Amino acid sequence: MARKWAGYAVIIYLVYVACMYGYIFWFADTSIPQALKGTAADPQTFLNARELVLSEEYSNIRNFIFLAYTPFEWLIYFFILLCGVSRVFERWAVSISKWRVAQTGIYLFWLSLLTYIAVFPIQYISYTFSRAYNINTQSFGAWMKDEIIGFWINFALMFLIVSVLYWLMKKSSKKWWLYAWLLSVPFSFLLMFVQPVWIDPLYNDFYPLKNKQLEEKILTLADRADIPAEHVYEVNKSEETNALNAYVTGVGANSRIVLWDTTLNKLQEDEILFIMAHEMAHYVEKHIYIGIAGYLALTFVGLWLISRLMNYIVERWGKLLKISAVDTISSLPLFLLLTGVLLFASNPLSNYVSRYQETRADRYAIEMTGDQDAAIHAFQELTRTGLSQVHPPLLIKWLRYTHPSMLERISTIENYDKDE
């Protein structure tokens, strides 16, 4: 029976990958609408012939890797259960230590290591293509260093979450999902408070903006937006990418305005001010808190669904999947599989909300700076440096795009009437 299920899973995955390949490379429509040809949103007006080709090629590859990678993770978790690997890891952990916390750590380490090794080829392929198209500028050694740092940060966070989660399962088999959700509320806020100060600096060096005249202008914008920031931070992202970015992160006293040095190097001052006004809009309009509220609402529904599904699956197919009970640590791959599926299914909704917020932020930035030309040129340069697809396929937009397409953003700004 296990071999039969494994065969079905592989066939389904391969058919899915073939369909996604056909959709992206053969059938998806990425042509510019006739009404927008020749406008500032038409990539032929600001990209040369080579950049147009590279943009389409690179975007198609990225989109295909994303669509292939996500269900591949689910397949790995499914095989870990089906082949009894999860139960073996649990037995190893129990044989090494009598302490449940230590058992969780041992089990999670081996599970994390195995899944990382399994998905590493896809991650390496993604890195290689990014290097080939001159987006990623990291050496293999620097890239691996970030991968290792990421592995241990994820392991530490997962260890904390999984330890608490399975302790709750032991204590309350029916309401563990509710208690886990209640604990996720303060944890989410704590993580937002901690990340800018403790986690982000593990990957890059942050330092006060060297251009003090520009910093003063940005802080003037921040003061108008009532953002409690005393400094603007610059981060040395040029060591790893040619892409551009800027953001406002953190909450309360830990709020930070951050500019990538690539943005400073490739955009003009008025373009940078527009980008910063856009990022400040997220703070002003409380998008961070709205995002947390939405995340917590989805988490509430998701944990409830996962609890129901895990009970049903273990009761019906527990023997096949080598899971004796929901509250045993060997059920973790099932929990992660279901979490991944539900998160993927929620992408269209969460991305839609995010795109709406980004549209609001664009409008706010135009109203604050009053500089449409700077906004258009900034988005055109973002497209060029990141080899972004100006008009992505509809399915990709639903599943991947947290921002409106560049076609939508540039055309909206070009047609924006500040007197309306």
Share of the chain above pLDDT 90, in %: 74
Q: Which amino acid is present at 306?
A: I
How much is the pLDDT for 190? 80
How much is the pLDDT for 254? 63
Residue 403 labelled as part of a binding site: no
Residue 270 class from Cβ within 10 Å (0-12 exposed, 13-18 middle, 19+ buried)?
A: middle
How much is the pLDDT for 396? 95
CA distances from 9 to 6, 78, 214, 325 (A): 5, 9, 55, 23
Helices then strands, counting H and E runs in the chain, come out as 14, 4
pLDDT in tens, 143-159: 999 999 999 999 999 99
At 259, is the secondary structure helix, strand, or coil? Answer: strand
Helix axis angle, 332-369 to 269-284, nearest 10°: 120
Rg of the chain (C-alpha set):
23
Residue 278 labelled as part of a binding site: yes
How much is the pLDDT for 419? 44
CA-CA-CA-CA torsion for 173, 176, 177, 180, nearest 10 degrees? Answer: -160
CA distances from 116 to 110, 121, 141, 157, 387 (A): 10, 9, 17, 16, 28
Contacts of 37 (CB under 8 A, 6+ apart): 44
Tokens encoding 358:
């980004």
For residue 136, the 8-state DSSP code is B
Domain-wise residue ranges, the chain: 2-202+286-414
Assess whether pLDDT exceeds 70 at residue 420: no
Average pLDDT over residues 368-372: 91
CA distances from 251 to 181, 193, 197, 221, 330 (A): 21, 6, 11, 18, 37
Residue 377 labelled as part of a binding site: no
For residue 174, the 8-state DSSP code is T
Catalytic residue IDs: 279, 362
CA-CA-CA-CA torsion for 221, 237, 397, 385, nearest 10 degrees? Answer: 90
pLDDT in tens, 301-336: 999 999 999 999 999 999 999 999 999 999 999 999
Helix axis angle, 332-369 to 287-317, nearest 10°: 160
pTM value is: 0.90
Rounded to a whole number of angstroms, the distance between the first and last alpha carbons of the chain is 66
Contacts of 406 (CB under 8 A, 6+ apart): 41, 379, 380, 382, 383, 388, 389, 390, 391
